[in-house]
């Protein structure tokens, strides 16, 4: 089985990709989208979103990363796809699924699913611009307001030259509300002649089994489920529901914080740690305790000292000076 790590704007960036791919079980990642408007982006714009380009398009643990582009102009998308390919990206991915209002308002992401003809033009232009030996892939939702054109859009993407397609089994209108309609992926698989990867609402091993059964897909893309349980890919491969032990996860959180402090703007740092802990507390009681301890703290030095004290495995006081609790 192939397991991919999803792109998630504002969450699953290169810092969290680094942490999650260290755990193991992930075959490939897709970057957050690189927004294309009306110009050819400079190299630094690609590297800012995907610094793995400076490491052979690999995370520090060696997992391939494919850059994703988001835009609606075929010519500009093609020019930027050629630039991304020239920088050594492990293929070029196209975003036809982003549900963000600001993106959709400008005709990008999931809004393109109401314009299959334009989708064909974008994919065709990108495929011509990217060297034949480099993969062009795409990610789509089932539709914008409904899924009535899901198969039509998938065919438009596949027949224009994409080599593989990820389908997030919800519409833009569905957002991230459960359920995901995995059976609709089976309809798309029956219509296209390229590999189709299933995505959406895979939180645990049982979800992965049911998604595979209903979609027929042999490959899965993991998003929020992997953020809440970093051992999910390994658990799916082993077919066991056992999550990663907290003792194994804690060093990753500390390394994540170190990388956040060296790569992110100071005003964003505390928020990034709280954001991940907020997801982790769905799986770990220890993450709930950590989140509550630093929830109101924004001082980098105090958070760092607090995390260091947890490494020492002693009773500590939270950086916001609340009551002590055992690590």
Q: How many domains does the chain have?
A: 2
Same domain assignment for residues 50 and 107:
yes
Give whole-number Cα distances, 26 to 14, 107, 236, 317, in Å.
14, 32, 11, 36
In the residue annotation, 211 being an active-site residue is answered as: no
The CATH number of the domain holding residue 7 is 3.20.20.70
Band of residue 106 on the pLDDT scale cut at 50, 70, 90: confident
Kindly state whether residue 276 falls inside one of the protein's structural domains: yes
Query: Catalytic one among 98, 153, 211, 261?
Result: 98
Give the global pTM.
0.92
- pLDDT > 50? residue 319: no
Same domain assignment for residues 224 and 253:
no
The CATH number of the domain holding residue 307 is 1.20.225
| Side-chain half-sphere exposure of 240, counting CA atoms within 13 A | 6
Same domain assignment for residues 195 and 228:
yes
pLDDT, tens only, 136-171: 999 999 999 999 999 999 999 999 999 999 999 999
Give the whole-angstrom CA distance, residue 159 versus residue 111.
20
User: End of a domain among 184, 213, 238?
Assistant: 238
Q: What is the mean pLDDT of the chain?
A: 93
Same domain assignment for residues 192 and 223:
yes
Residue 113: what pLDDT? Answer: 96
Same domain assignment for residues 110 and 179:
yes
**pLDDT above 90 as % of the chain:** 89
Beta bridge partners of 279: none
Same domain assignment for residues 99 and 67:
yes
Kindly state whether residue 318 falls inside one of the protein's structural domains: no
- pLDDT > 50? residue 55: yes
Residue 105: what pLDDT? Answer: 80
Kindly state whether residue 317 falls inside one of the protein's structural domains: no
User: End of a domain among 238, 265, 294?
Assistant: 238
Return the axis-axis angle of helices 183-191 and 205-215, rounded to nearest 10°. 40
Kindly state whether residue 96 falls inside one of the protein's structural domains: yes
Kindly state whether residue 226 falls inside one of the protein's structural domains: yes
Contact 37, 13 (CB under 8 A): no
Kindly state whether residue 324 falls inside one of the protein's structural domains: no
Query: How many CB atoms neighbour CB 117 within 10 A?
Result: 8
Same domain assignment for residues 162 and 307:
no
Same domain assignment for residues 218 and 125:
yes
Same domain assignment for residues 167 and 294:
no
Give the whole-angstrom CA distance, residue 96 versus residue 167.
10
- pLDDT > 50? residue 322: no
Q: Which residue segment(s) compose the domain that 126 sits in?
A: 2-238
């Amino acid at each position: 089985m192939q397991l991919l790590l999803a792109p998630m704007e504002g969450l699953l960036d290169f810092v969290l990709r680094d942490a999650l791919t260290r755990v193991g079980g992930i075959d490939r990642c897709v970057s957050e989208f690189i927004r294309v408007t009306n110009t050819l982006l400079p190299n630094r714009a690609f590297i800012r979103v995907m610094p793995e380009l400076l490491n052979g398009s690999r995370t520090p643990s060696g997992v391939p990363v494919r850059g994703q582009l988001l835009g609606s102009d075929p010519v500009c998308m093609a020019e930027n796809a050629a630039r991304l390919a020239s920088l050594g990206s492990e293929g070029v991915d196209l975003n036809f699924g982003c549900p963000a209002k600001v993106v959709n308002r400008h005709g990008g992401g999931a809004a393109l699913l109401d314009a299959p003809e334009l989708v064909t033009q974008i994919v065709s232009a990108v495929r011509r611009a990217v060297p034949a030996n480099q993969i062009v892939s795409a990610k789509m939702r089932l539709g914008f307001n409904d899924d009535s054109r899901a198969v039509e859009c998938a065919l438009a993407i596949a027949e224009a030259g994409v080599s593989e397609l990820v389908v997030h089994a919800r519409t833009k209108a569905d957002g991230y509300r459960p359920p995901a309609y995995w059976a609709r992926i089976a309809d798309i698989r029956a219509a296209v002649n390229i590999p189709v990867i299933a995505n959406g609402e895979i939180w645990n091993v049982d979800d992965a089994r049911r998604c595979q059964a209903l979609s027929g897909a042999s490959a899965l893309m993991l998003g929020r489920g992997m953020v809440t349980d970093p051992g999910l890919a390994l658990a799916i491969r082993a077919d066991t529901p056992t999550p990663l032990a907290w003792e194994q996860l804690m060093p990753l959180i500390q390394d994540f914080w170190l990388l956040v402090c060296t790569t992110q703007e100071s005003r964003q740092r505390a928020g990034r740690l709280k954001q991940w802990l907020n997801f982790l507390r769905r799986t770990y009681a220890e993450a709930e305790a950590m989140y509550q301890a630093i929830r109101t703290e924004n001082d980098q030095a105090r958070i760092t000292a607090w995390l260091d004290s947890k490494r020492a495995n002693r009773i500590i006081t939270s950086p916001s000076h609340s009551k002590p609790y055992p690590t």
